[in-house]
């Protein structure tokens, strides 16, 4: 008892030393466009300058955008809003302090709340990449006939990137496959948390979900971008990091990382991406410049013919998005995509009342080319969906740990419904790959 109190004290001292200076004095604004013209104004502003960090930007009037602004840019920003009669409120006057508080709580729980503290996956806090890898490896040891781990590659900083394949253990090969990933964007911590919960449900709640594993195996990559994810866990200074961590230099300035969701070789860097390595949506110097996106691409190609649904988990905004994200055109089979996505949205609405907007990425959210969902669809997955989970905290990317349980359970309801629809629409005999 005394020892654990001592450990806790040391921990508090250690985390208290983490400074908030990274985002000290940064403000968070909620700006609500009332007209289409005001939506366009905000969109132009987000494109024109990197001074403002748009955490969310919607195409529709009345859908609020959330923007983080540095202390130096606050005056200019407010003037712009006033001049254009844009409605706004300040959600947080000093996000640095808020991030620090939430970050420290998670750190504090690190030593007293292990990932499987209660035997099953615990949803009490966010986990780091190593804990996640250990968790899936332990599952494979506990369920050796149903669960398999594969090291599928290495991140830029040489972290082991692992997939977990979940089967029903009947030994049949070449089943259809659901390929799901999380942790593309480093700061979206709720994504790996939700993916872990899906793993828990498929493995530990096998009897209840056996129908999802009869004709289908699930290949799951919980953290696509572990370097970025770890960077956000290192200190509050980097909590809002989005990209990978490979260094890139431009005009003598070195900036880090590319946006993995702009790095795929399909209409690469055409729209909604940047050629500036210092920008959050940097597409990379060339398609597949990042080892992390090569890994995802190779998994997709390996599953050719068997891969039916590709599901990539992001946050935030409550969207179920399908191709295309590079053009406002819809694919010929958009009704199939819509049917599956809507099954997820409807199930969530019925269970919790949370509303998800369903539609093509470009039409519902914004245009952005070079993303994994478009690539997966192009590479042969008939269903390819980006799920943007609920937001939380003040940035939207920082739901407090106390919200994890509620969010991941809600997410699972949607994923379960989409998977049921896919299993029904694409049975093995129909797809005929056996």
Site residues (vs ligand 0X9, CB under 6 A): 185, 188, 261, 314, 321, 325, 361, 365, 368, 371, 373-374, 386, 388
- Shortest distance, CB of residue 122 to ligand 0X9, whole angstroms? 25
Which of Zn ion, ligand 0X9, none binds 361 (CB below 5-8 Å, type-dependent)?
Answer: ligand 0X9
Which of ligand 0X9, Zn ion, none binds 337 (CB below 5-8 Å, type-dependent)?
Answer: none
Which of Zn ion, ligand 0X9, none binds 374 (CB below 5-8 Å, type-dependent)?
Answer: ligand 0X9
For residues 124 and 166, what is the distance between their CA atoms, to the nearest angstrom? Answer: 24
Task: Using the Cα atoms of residue 140, residue 141, residue 144 and residue 148 in order, give the sign of their dihedral.
Answer: positive
Q: Which helix (H) or strand (E) holds 419?
A: helix 404-425
- Shortest distance, CB of residue 259 to ligand 0X9, whole angstroms? 7
Residue 165 tokens read as 């394949």
CB 4 within 8 A of CB 112: yes
Residue 304 tokens read as 């050719």
CB-hemisphere CA count at 13 Å for 139?
A: 30
Residue 31 tokens read as 């700006």
DSSP class of residue 274 equals: B
Report the interface residues with Zn ion, using CB under 5 A: 185, 314
For residues 118 and 415, what is the distance between their CA atoms, to the nearest angstrom? Answer: 24
Which of Zn ion, ligand 0X9, none binds 371 (CB below 5-8 Å, type-dependent)?
Answer: ligand 0X9
- Shortest distance, CB of residue 224 to ligand 0X9, whole angstroms? 12
49 dihedral zone (left: phi>0; alpha: psi -120 to 50; beta):
beta
- Shortest distance, CB of residue 198 to ligand 0X9, whole angstroms? 18
Choice among 188, 290, 292, 388 that is catalytic: 388
Closer CB to ligand 0X9, residue 166 or residue 345?
A: 345
Q: Which position's Cβ is nearest Zn ion?
A: 314
Q: At what angle do helices 334-352 and 404-425 cross, to 10 degrees?
A: 140
- Shortest distance, CB of residue 134 to ligand 0X9, whole angstroms? 26
Q: Which of 236, 228, 238, 239 is closest to 261 using CA atoms?
A: 228
- Shortest distance, CB of residue 374 to ligand 0X9, whole angstroms? 5
CB 189 within 8 A of CB 135: no
For residues 144 and 354, what is the distance between their CA atoms, to the nearest angstrom? Answer: 37
Closer CB to ligand 0X9, residue 368 or residue 422?
A: 368
Q: Which position's Cβ is nearest ligand 0X9?
A: 325
Which DSSP string do the residues of 192-233 spell out, in sequence order?
A: HHHHHHHHHHHHHTTGGGGGGGSSEEEEEES-S-HHHHHHHH
Residue 366 tokens read as 């914004």
For residues 194 and 183, what is the distance between their CA atoms, to the nearest angstrom? Answer: 10
Closer CB to ligand 0X9, residue 39 or residue 365?
A: 365
- Shortest distance, CB of residue 184 to Zn ion, whole angstroms? 5
Closer CB to Zn ion, residue 306 or residue 314?
A: 314
- Shortest distance, CB of residue 186 to ligand 0X9, whole angstroms? 11
CB-hemisphere CA count at 13 Å for 40?
A: 3
For residues 106 and 364, what is the distance between their CA atoms, to the nearest angstrom? Answer: 33
DSSP class of residue 265 equals: S
**What is the greatest pairwise CA distance in the chain?**
66
SS3 91: strand
CB 421 within 8 A of CB 339: yes
Closer CB to ligand 0X9, residue 127 or residue 264?
A: 264
Active site residue 355: no
- Cβ neighbours around 163 below 10 Å, total: 21
Catalytic residue annotation: 388
């Amino acid at each position: 008892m005394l020892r654990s109190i001592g450990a806790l004290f040391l921990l508090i001292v250690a985390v208290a030393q983490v400074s908030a200076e990274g985002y000290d004095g940064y403000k968070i604004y909620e700006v609500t466009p009332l007209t289409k013209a005001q939506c366009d104004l905000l969109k132009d502003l987000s494109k024109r300058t990197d001074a403002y960090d748009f955490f969310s930007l919607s195409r529709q009037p009345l859908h609020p955008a959330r923007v983080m602004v540095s202390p130096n840019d606050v005056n200019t920003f407010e003037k712009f809003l006033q001049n254009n009669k844009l409605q706004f409120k300040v959600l947080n006057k000093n996000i640095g302090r808020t991030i620090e508080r939430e970050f420290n709580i998670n750190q504090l729980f690190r030593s007293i709340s292990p990932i499987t503290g209660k035997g099953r996956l615990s949803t009490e806090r966010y986990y780091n990449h190593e804990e996640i890898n250990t968790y899936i490896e332990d599952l494979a040891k506990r369920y050796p006939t149903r669960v398999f781990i594969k090291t599928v590659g290495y991140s830029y900083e040489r972290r082991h990137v692992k997939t977990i394949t979940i089967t029903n253990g009947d030994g049949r090969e070449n089943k259809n496959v659901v390929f799901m990933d999380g942790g593309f964007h480093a700061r979206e911590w709720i994504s790996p948390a939700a993916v872990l919960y899906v793993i828990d449900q498929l493995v530990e709640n096998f009897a209840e979900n056996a129908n999802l594993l009869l004709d289908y195996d699930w290949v799951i990559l919980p953290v696509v971008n572990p370097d970025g994810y770890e960077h956000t866990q290192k200190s509050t200074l980097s909590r809002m990091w989005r990209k990978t961590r490979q260094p890139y230099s431009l005009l003598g300035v070195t900036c880090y990382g590319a946006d993995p969701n702009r790095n795929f070789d399909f209409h690469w860097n055409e729209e909604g991406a940047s050629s500036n390595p210092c920008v959050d949506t940097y597409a990379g110097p060339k398609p597949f410049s990042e080892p992390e996106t090569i890994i995802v691409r190779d998994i997709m190609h390996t599953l050719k013919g068997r891969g039916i649904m590709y599901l990539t988990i992001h946050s935030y905004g409550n969207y179920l998005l399908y191709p295309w994200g590079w053009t406002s055109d819809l694919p010929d089979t958009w009704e199939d995509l819509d049917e599956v996505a809507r099954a997820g949205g409807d199930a969530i609405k019925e269970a919790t009342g949370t509303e998800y907007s369903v539609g093509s990425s470009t039409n519902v959210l914004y245009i952005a080319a070079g993303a994994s969902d478009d690539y997966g669809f192009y590479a042969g997955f008939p269903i390819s969906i980006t799920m943007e989970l609920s937001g939380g905290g003040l940035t939207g990317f920082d739901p407090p740990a106390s919200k994890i349980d509620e969010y991941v359970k809600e997410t699972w309801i949607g994923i379960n419904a989409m998977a049921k629809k896919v299993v029904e629409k694409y049975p093995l005999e129909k797809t005929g790959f056996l």
